[in-house]
């Protein structure tokens, strides 16, 4: 599967009275990594959820390759990974069980223990995650998002809750993905794009500046 | 699709076994309801077969609603629904897996509740248990289907705890009608032209088709 191209054209999203995203136009080439910067409430999460196909645009379009993201077929969804504000993990399952479930639903296999060791959770594999700290959940969410080798990785403020080691791990993961997959990262970290040597776009008040 | 649905159902059953959030509350509720109604009738076992049948089905339906309030709670609290929606599976599998788990919860509570009901209301001449069990199983399928569909509809609402019973109870009236009639018929009473078990099976088929056709829209944006 070729890495997808993200194309947002005059894309708007309204929640009731509030316009969360205003005529955003953005193109991300296959294999490119883009950091989306902006203050709280700027529309970063909405933009990522539109690209993931988890929200339907109120106006305009959000496309992945040739298809509208909201109606992406299974083979396109198989290549997408999205990690948002919530860890998207079952609190009553162990770390290992959560990853195994994710892999099963993606009809793929991988060594869950190795995946957990990559994010520093190898010794917590059999613990239920309802006792995990925010940082540990964020590490596990990163492992989940990359476990099925996605061609499009969407991360929404992935550094929140991470300690210094965790942020270094995140940087390494993003750096390893440059040129290998398309990556769109919403962040408050103004240095992230410079550290990775990638493009950044700024969102403010729902519009791309 | 069936594989994904079974995977989701298994996860929900594992979560319930570990957390005991739903079934325990449902068991207490249905047992308390049956006992309270028994005492409300002053232990009068001659209160009538229709009253006993109606009491069982009212208790089953209200207990089911109690469980349905937690239908997507595990997915909602951790944002898991996003991960399920992005997985390369049919969205109907999410609904079907959830309905299967709900069906399992109902069967478990009925395994406990029906003997209690039987012991309190019928010392000797009870209904044909086979008919009652088949009626309950058919009804459980319908309740799980309709309940999961309604829970998906109410998912995004802030007042979903209020909205869900309002949505689901009117839709379950045919289940109560079919169930009571089947149970009454199991006493050997004349139930008229209605074939209650066939009616319950038809109800299930209608809602299978409806849920199948709408799950993409209900579980999407």
- Average pLDDT of B113-130? 82
Mutate: best of A48, A52, A101, partner B, most B CBs <10 A: A101
What residue in A sits closest to B85 (Cα-Cα)? A54
Could you give the ipTM of this predicted complex? 0.91
| Nearest residue, CB atoms, A77 vs list B11, B87, B221 | B87
Interface check A144 vs B, CB under 8 A? yes
The Cα-based distances of B46 to A128, B42, B58, B199 in angstroms read 52, 10, 19, 29
What residue in B sits closest to A13 (Cα-Cα)? B221
Domain-wise residue ranges, chain A:
1-79+152-209, 92-149
Mean pLDDT score of chain B: 87
Q: How many CB pairs under 8 A join A and B?
A: 74
Report mean pLDDT in 10-residue bins for chain A, 209 residues.
Answer: 77 92 92 93 93 94 93 91 92 95 93 94 93 93 94 93 90 93 93 92 84
Kindly tell me the burial class for residue B21, based on how many C-beta atoms sit within 10 Å of its own C-beta (0-12, 13-18, 19 or more).
middle
* A1-79+152-209: CATH number: 3.40.50.300
What residue in A sits closest to B219 (Cα-Cα)? A54
Best CA proximity match to B145, nearest among B63, B201, B196? B201
Best CA proximity match to B140, nearest among B198, B97, B101? B101
Best CA proximity match to B74, nearest among A95, A156, A130? A130
Residues of A in contact with B85 (CB under 8 A): 53-54
The 8-class DSSP code of residue B10 comes to H
Helix (H) or strand (E) holding A158: none
What is the secondary structure of B84-104 as a DSSP string?
A: HHHSSS-HHHHHHHHHHHHHH
Cβ A92–B221 below 8 Å, yes or no?
no
Residues of A in contact with B10 (CB under 8 A): none
What residue in A sits closest to B86 (Cα-Cα)? A77
The Cα-based distances of A115 to A137, A144, B167 in angstroms read 14, 8, 43
Q: Within a 10 A sphere around the Cβ of B208, how many other Cβ atoms?
A: 15
Reported pTM: 0.88
What pLDDT does residue B92 have? 87
């Amino acid at each position: 599967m070729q890495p997808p191209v993200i194309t947002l054209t005059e894309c708007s999203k309204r929640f009731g009275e509030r316009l969360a995203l205003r005529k955003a136009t953005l193109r991300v080439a296959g294999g490119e990594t883009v950091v989306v910067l902006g203050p709280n409430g700027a529309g970063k999460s909405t933009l990522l959820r539109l690209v993931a196909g988890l929200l339907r645009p109120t106006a305009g379009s959000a496309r992945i390759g040739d298809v509208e993201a909201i109606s992406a077929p299974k083979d396109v969804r198989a290549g997408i990974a999205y990690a948002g504000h919530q860890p998207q993990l079952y609190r009553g399952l162990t770390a290992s069980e959560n990853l195994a479930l994710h892999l099963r639903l993606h009809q793929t296999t991988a060594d869950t223990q190795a995946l957990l060791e990559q994010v520093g959770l190898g010794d917590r594999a059999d613990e239920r995650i309802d006792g995990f700290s925010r940082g540990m959940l964020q590490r596990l969410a990163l492992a989940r998002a990359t476990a099925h080798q996605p061609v499009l990785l969407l991360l929404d403020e992935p550094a929140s809750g991470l300690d210094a080691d965790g942020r270094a791990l995140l940087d390494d993961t993003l750096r390893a993905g440059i040129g290998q997959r398309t990556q769109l990262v919403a962040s408050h970290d103004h240095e992230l794009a410079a550290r990775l040597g990638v493009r950044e776009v700024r969102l403010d008040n729902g519009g791309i500046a | 699709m069936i594989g994904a649905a079974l995977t989701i159902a298994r996860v929900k059953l594992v979560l319930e076994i570990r957390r005991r959030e739903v079934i325990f509350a449902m068991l207490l509720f249905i047992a308390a309801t049956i006992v309270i109604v028994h005492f409300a009738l002053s232990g009068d076992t001659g209160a009538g077969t229709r009253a006993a049948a109606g009491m069982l089905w009212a208790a089953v339906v209200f207990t089911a609603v109690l469980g349905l309030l937690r239908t997507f709670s595990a997915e909602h609290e951790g944002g898991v629904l996003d991960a399920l929606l992005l997985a390369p599976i049919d969205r109907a599998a999410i609904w079907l897996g959830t309905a299967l788990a709900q069906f399992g919860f109902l069967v478990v509570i009925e395994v406990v509740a029906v003997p209690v009901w039987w012991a309190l209301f019928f010392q000797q001449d009870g209904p044909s248990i086979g008919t009652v069990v088949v009626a309950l199983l058919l009804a459980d399928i319908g309740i799980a289907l309709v309940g999961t569909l309604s829970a998906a509809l109410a998912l995004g609402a802030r007042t979903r705890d209020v909205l869900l019973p309002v949505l689901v109870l009117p839709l379950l009236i045919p289940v109560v009608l079919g169930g009571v009639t089947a149970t009454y018929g199991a006493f050997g009473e004349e139930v008229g032209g209605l074939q209650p078990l066939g009616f319950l099976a038809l109800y299930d088929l209608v809602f299978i088709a409806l849920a199948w056709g709408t799950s993409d829209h209900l579980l999407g944006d």
